[in-house]
Structure 1
Amino acid sequence: MAFYFQISNKDIINDVDVGLQPNPLPFAAANAPVFGRNAHLSPHLAIVLADEGFDVEQVCLPWRYFTDRGFLVEFVFPRPIDPPRTARPDPSYTCGWKGSIMGPSKEAMDIYSILCTLEEFIEPKHYTDEGFSFLDFDVVLITGGRNEPMRQMLTDPSLHSKLKPYLSLCKRIDPETNQPSVAPSKILGTIAQGTLPIYMSDPETPLKSTTIPVWMERTNSWISPPPENSSYPYAASLIPSDKYFAGPNYRSVFTMEDMHHYFISGRCNRDILPLSTGIYGLYRQMLRDQKSSMRPHKKRSNHYPTTFIKK
C-alpha cells in the first residue's frame, strides 16, 4: 500500500505536523512516497547497511516507520555494486530451516520487495564517495549483522572517519544553559553490532550504548558459525565496560537511551520497532529543546520582596 504525506510549512525549530492518509490511486505507486509540499522541510534519515548480507527487519521496518511519519529516508552503502544488482539480505535468515524459524516476518519481506523498486534503494548513496557527508542528514541509523559483508562495513575505517564529525554533534541541547543561537543537534540510533563503528571511530567517545550480549553472540556463532569464527569480533566485548550496558535478561525487548546525547541503541531484531519509536521521540525532543533554548530566559531576582509594616 502506498502513502503520501503532508508536512506543514513550519520553520526548523517547530514540531513536525504530519497528516497520514492512504493514497487514493487505485494502483500501487512505483516511485517513492512524496514528502509534503516542500521535500526539503522533511527530516532526512540515513539507514547505513551493506549491499549484501543485511538483516531485512533492521532495514525494512524502520524505512516503513519513518516514511509513515514524513521522513525522507535514504540508504547508504559502502560503495557502488559492481556489476550492478539489487542489494541482497542475509540468505541464511531468509531461506532454509533457520529462515522458517528465525527469519523475517512476511511484512518485512513484502516491504523489501517494494524497496527493490525504489530509486533510493537501487541507486543509494555511498559513504566512500569523496563528497559524501553524514552531516547532510538529521538522523542516522546504523544497522548490524554478523556475516562477512556486514562485518567488513562495520569495521571499515572509511565509515569511521565519515561518522566521527557526526558523532560530535549528537550532544543534547540544554534549554537552560545553551545560547539561543544553538544549532540543531544530530540524532543517532544503532541496532545490535551497529554500535561497533562508534567506538572504533572514537575510542574516547562519551556515548553509552547497549547491544546483543556476548553469550547470545556465542550462541549464534555455535548455531551458525560465520567465516573465520575464531576471529569474530563480539560487539559487546569491544565496547569499553564503562560505556556498555547489557540490559536485563528478563526483558525480551530493550533499548538504551544516552542521557547526555540524542543517541539510542537496541540489542537485537526484537528491538527494532521500539528503537525506531525512540529515535523518532529523540528527534521531536531535540526540536522542543532547541525551541525552548531560543525563548528569552527571565533573569532571577537576587533580592527578596520588601515587606511594609503598617504603623
Structure 2
Amino acid sequence: MAFYFQSLQKDIINDIDVGLQPNPLPSPIVDAPVFGRDTQFSPHLAIVMADNGFDVEQVCLPWRYFTDRGFLVEFVFPRPLDPPRVAKPDPSYTTGWKGIIMGPSKDAMDIYSILCTLDEFIQPKYYTDDNFSFLDFDVVLITGGRNEPMRQMLTDPLLHSKLKPYLRLCKRIDRRKDDPNVAPSKILGTIAQGALPIYINNPETTLRSTTIPVWMERTNSWISPPPNNSSYSYAASLMPTDKYFAGPNYRTVFTMEDMHHYYISGRCNTDIIPLSTGLYDLYRQMLRDQKSGMRPQRKNLTSSNDVPQK
C-alpha cells in the first residue's frame, strides 16, 4: 500500500530534546515518496520486533525516519498471531505513572496509531516462514527489550540461523582488495538487547558493538520489573568481552560503529534517532564504496579501448 507520512503536525525528528541530542542531526529531513509494498525501486528496511511487548520508540521513530527518506519499511515478527491482532507495545511503559514519566512521547504513540492502519504492520513478515530470508532486505534493524516476548525472540535459535547469511554480507567493501563487481553489502543496526542474536550462538564473530550497560539495565529492571525478571541475564554479560564496548557513563547518547562492517549499535531509547541517522549514512557510504570500487575497472576498460590498432 502506497503511503506518505504527512499527518503529524509536529516534526519529531527535528524537535529532538537538545539535552539528549546536543549536536544537530547531519542528515536533514527530505520529502521523498514511498512507492508501496511491491516496489522494486526503494531500498528495503526490516525492523525485527516481537508482536507483544515491543518498545514504541525503537519501532516507530525509525519507521518515520526511513519512510521520509524513501525506504520501504517492513516489520518482521517471530510467527503469525493466533487469533490475528495488531502488535501491542510494552504496557508497563505506555500506561500508569511509569508511562507518564518513562513512556514514549505523544508523537511516537501517534505514529503507532498510524502503523496500526498499515498493511505492512497488520500483515508483517515472519522469520519462521520457510521462504523468509533477511537477504531480501538492504538494511536490518533489530530492536531490544527485556520482557518475556522480546527475550524469547532475541534468544530464538531460528532467528540466529536466519541472520547468519545476512551477517556475512555486512563486511565493509575494501576498495583496494575487493573485486570491482562485488555485490552491495548489507547494513545492520541493533538497539539495546537487540545485539544479543549476533553473539549468543556465534561468540567468535568479528562484529563489535555496544548494548545496554549492566547498570542501566539493572536500573530499568528495578523500576519496571517484568515477570521472571530475576532469571534473565543482563545483555552485556552475554556478549564476548572483546567484542563489547560499554561506552562512557557520562554520555546520555552513545552509538558505536564497527570499523570493519556496515554495522552500528546503540545502548537505549535515547540513541534511536542517532542510530537511525547512522544506519542511513552507512547505507549511503556502502553505495559510495561500491561505486568507487568500480572506477578502476571502468578506467582500465577505457584505456584498453584507446590502444591504437596496428
TM-score, with length taken from structure 2: 0.85
What SS is found at the alignment partner of 2:246?
coil
In the TM superposition, 1:222-301 aligns within 5 A as: 222-296=222-296
1:25 counterpart residue number? none
What SS is found at the alignment partner of 1:281?
helix
1:213/1:236 contact within 8 Å kept: yes
Task: Give 1:191's aligned amino acid.
Answer: I
1:136 counterpart residue number? 136
2:4/2:34 contact within 8 Å kept: no
CA distance in 1 between partners of 2:40 and 2:30 (Å): 17
1:20 counterpart residue number? 31
Over the residues paired in the alignment, what is the CA RMSD in angstroms?
1.8
Task: Give 1:70's aligned amino acid.
Answer: G
1:164/1:202 contact within 8 Å kept: no
CA distance in 2 between partners of 1:153 and 1:67 (Å): 25
CA distance in 2 between partners of 1:121 and 1:276 (Å): 19
CA distance in 2 between partners of 1:180 and 1:108 (Å): 42
Q: CA deviation at 1:19?
A: 6.2
TM-score, with length taken from structure 1: 0.85
Residue 54 (1) aligns with residue 54 (2): yes
CA distance in 2 between partners of 1:78 and 1:226 (Å): 20
**Alignment deviations for residues 251-302 of structure 1 (CA, whole Å, 9 cap, x no partner):** 1100000000000000000000000000000000000000000111679xxx
2:159 counterpart residue number? 159
Task: Give 2:44's aligned amino acid.
Answer: H
1:107 counterpart residue number? 107
Task: Give 1:56's aligned amino acid.
Answer: V
1:8 counterpart residue number? none
Q: CA deviation at 1:34?
A: 3.6
CA distance in 1 between partners of 2:157 and 2:278 (Å): 28
What SS is found at the alignment partner of 2:83?
coil
1:210 counterpart residue number? 210
Question: How many residues in Structure 1 have an aligned counterpart in Structure 2?
Answer: 274
**Alignment deviations for residues 91-141 of structure 1 (CA, whole Å, 9 cap, x no partner):** 000010100000000110000000000001000000000000000000000
1:199/1:239 contact within 8 Å kept: yes
2:21 counterpart residue number? none
In the TM superposition, 1:167-182 aligns within 5 A as: 167-182=167-182
Q: CA deviation at 1:145?
A: 0.6
1:14 counterpart residue number? none
1:87 counterpart residue number? 87
1:164/1:201 contact within 8 Å kept: no
CA distance in 2 between partners of 1:248 and 1:118 (Å): 39
Q: CA deviation at 1:168?
A: 0.6
What SS is found at the alignment partner of 2:200?
helix
CA distance in 2 between partners of 1:178 and 1:45 (Å): 25
CA distance in 1 between partners of 2:107 and 2:64 (Å): 10
1:163/1:201 contact within 8 Å kept: no
Instruction: From the superposition, tell whether residues 2 and 137 of structure 1 become closer, same or farther in structure 2 (CA, over 3 Å).
Output: closer
CA distance in 2 between partners of 1:270 and 1:19 (Å): 22
**Alignment deviations for residues 135-161 of structure 1 (CA, whole Å, 9 cap, x no partner):** 000000000011100000000111011
Q: CA deviation at 1:229?
A: 2.4
Q: CA deviation at 1:230?
A: 2.5
CA distance in 2 between partners of 1:252 and 1:220 (Å): 15
| Percent identity (aligned) | 81
Task: Give 1:217's aligned amino acid.
Answer: E
Residue 127 (1) aligns with residue 127 (2): yes
Instruction: From the superposition, tell whether residues 34 and 217 of structure 1 become closer, same or farther in structure 2 (CA, over 3 Å).
Output: closer
CA distance in 2 between partners of 1:195 and 1:78 (Å): 17
Q: CA deviation at 1:201?
A: 3.5
2:209/2:264 contact within 8 Å kept: yes
Q: CA deviation at 1:2?
A: 4.0
Task: Give 1:126's aligned amino acid.
Answer: Y
What SS is found at the alignment partner of 2:295?
coil
Structure (1 or 2) with the larger CA radius of gyration? 1
CA distance in 1 between partners of 2:173 and 2:4 (Å): 36
